[in-house]
């Protein structure tokens, strides 16, 4: 088999999430700040000239036709008419359903990698159009910049923020994003802000109270974490995060994390580690 080329598939957190309204089609008008992290899954690619897409490491509980990795690869094939294919491998480090972008990031890594390895040369704007059909969070990973997002998450403005460290922790429960967005108790009328008005202290996650009411373990984890640093749920959960100024402080709290929870420490990045790695590979080839 062709050598497998491994690429990072970075996590993200939502530093805030405001629900500002709902569109007639049921989607919500959101505002959020996507912070990319330097930690994530790993995806391997062995490309070939047969038009077959194979996921060599299936994910438990996810049917192949529902897997965003397969959806992304096939969407790129259909969009371009490419006859190239690939065997794809995944080393999963991020919790599924954790609100840190695992599946969306995987899809973006596939689109960016195969666009390069199949020599399609589509611009990022075109890849983002394909990404939007796969999932609302996929475009931010295609753009590869920490960014202020609006609409359903597809209108992204790159935004420089101070470099910080994050302890990201998961309570071991799964939160269904569709269930949260369809819930009658979800706030949907938060006033919109401008990107330059953002501060952590003046924003919140509009899904947090609802999820805490539905999932006691999320509430318990947040109550523990907030004693150490400013803390918040990311996305629709279930993961939460705390903000630190340095790696040492974050790792010190991670060592104290109760055994019932799992967590990791990551640095916020302005540019995706995937984009950096892919550029290095292409420059060397």
- Does the active-site annotation cover 92? no
Average pLDDT, the chain: 94
DSSP state of 119: T
Among 41, 71, 137, 145, which one carries the catalytic annotation? Answer: 137
Is 10 annotated as contributing to ligand binding? no
- Does the active-site annotation cover 137? yes
What local confidence, expressed as pLDDT, does residue 258 receive? 98
Is 99 annotated as contributing to ligand binding? yes
pTM of the model: 0.94
Is 151 annotated as contributing to ligand binding? no
Is 44 annotated as contributing to ligand binding? no
What local confidence, expressed as pLDDT, does residue 136 receive? 82
pLDDT tens per residue, range 81-139: 999 999 999 999 987 768 898 899 999 999 999 999 999 999 999 999 999 999 888 99
Is 235 annotated as contributing to ligand binding? no
* Angle, CA 232 vertex, CA 66 and CA 274 arms, to 5°: 50
Among 12, 41, 71, 206, which one carries the catalytic annotation? Answer: 12
* Angle, CA 167 vertex, CA 170 and CA 16 arms, to 5°: 80
Is 97 annotated as contributing to ligand binding? yes
- The model's confidence at residue 2, banded by pLDDT at 50, 70 and 90, is low
Is 239 annotated as contributing to ligand binding? no
Q: What 3 state SS string does 30-75 have? A: EEEEEEEEEEEEEEEEEEECCCCEEECCCCCCCCHHHCHHHHHHHH
pLDDT tens per residue, range 229-242: 999 999 999 999 99
- The model's confidence at residue 153, banded by pLDDT at 50, 70 and 90, is confident
Q: Give percent above pLDDT 70 in the chain.
A: 99
- The model's confidence at residue 65, banded by pLDDT at 50, 70 and 90, is confident
Is 9 annotated as contributing to ligand binding? no
Is 237 annotated as contributing to ligand binding? no
Q: Give percent above pLDDT 90 in the chain.
A: 86
Name 13's bridge partners: 35
What local confidence, expressed as pLDDT, does residue 60 receive? 76
Is 26 annotated as contributing to ligand binding? no
Q: Which of 243, 43, 232 is closest to 141 using CA atoms?
A: 43
Domains and CATH numbers, the chain: 5-17+36-147 (3.30.230.10), 165-269 (3.30.70.890)
What local confidence, expressed as pLDDT, does residue 59 receive? 80
pLDDT tens per residue, range 215-232: 999 999 999 999 999 999
Q: What 3 state SS string does 234-253 have? A: CCCCCCEEEEECCHHHHHHH
* Angle, CA 64 vertex, CA 59 and CA 67 arms, to 5°: 75
Q: Choose the most confident range, by mean pLDDT, from 3-12, 95-104, 145-154.
A: 3-12
């Amino acid at each position: 088999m062709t050598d497998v080329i491994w690429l990072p598939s970075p996590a993200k957190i939502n530093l805030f999430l405001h629900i500002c309204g709902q569109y007639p089609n049921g989607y919500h008008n959101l505002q959020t700040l996507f912070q990319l992290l330097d930690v994530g899954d790993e995806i391997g690619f062995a490309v070939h000239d047969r038009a077959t897409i194979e996921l060599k490491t299936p994910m438990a509980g996810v049917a192949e036709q529902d897997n965003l990795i397969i959806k992304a690869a096939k969407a790129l094939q259909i969009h371009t008419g490419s006859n190239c294919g690939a065997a794809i491998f995944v080393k999963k480090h991020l919790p599924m359903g954790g609100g840190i972008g695992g599946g969306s990031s995987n899809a973006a890594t596939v689109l960016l990698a195969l666009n390069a390895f199949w020599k399609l040369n589509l611009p990022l704007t075109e890849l983002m159009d394909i990404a939007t059909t796969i999932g609302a969070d996929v475009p931010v990973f295609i753009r590869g910049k920490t960014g202020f997002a609006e609409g359903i998450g597809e209108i992204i403005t790159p935004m420089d923020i101070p470099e910080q460290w994050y302890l990201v922790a998961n309570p071991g429960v799964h939160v269904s994003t569709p269930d949260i967005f369809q819930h009658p108790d979800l706030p949907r009328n938060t006033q919109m802000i401008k990107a330059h008005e953002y501060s952590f202290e003046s924003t919140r996650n509009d899904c947090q109270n609802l999820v805490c009411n539905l999932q006691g373990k999320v509430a318990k984890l947040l109550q523990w974490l907030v004693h150490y640093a400013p803390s918040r749920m990311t996305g629709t959960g279930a993961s939460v995060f705390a903000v630190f100024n340095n790696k040492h402080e974050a790792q010190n709290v991670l060592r104290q994390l109760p055994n019932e929870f799992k967590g990791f420490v990551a640095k916020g990045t302005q540019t995706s580690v995937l984009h950096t790695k892919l550029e290095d590979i292409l420059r060397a080839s």
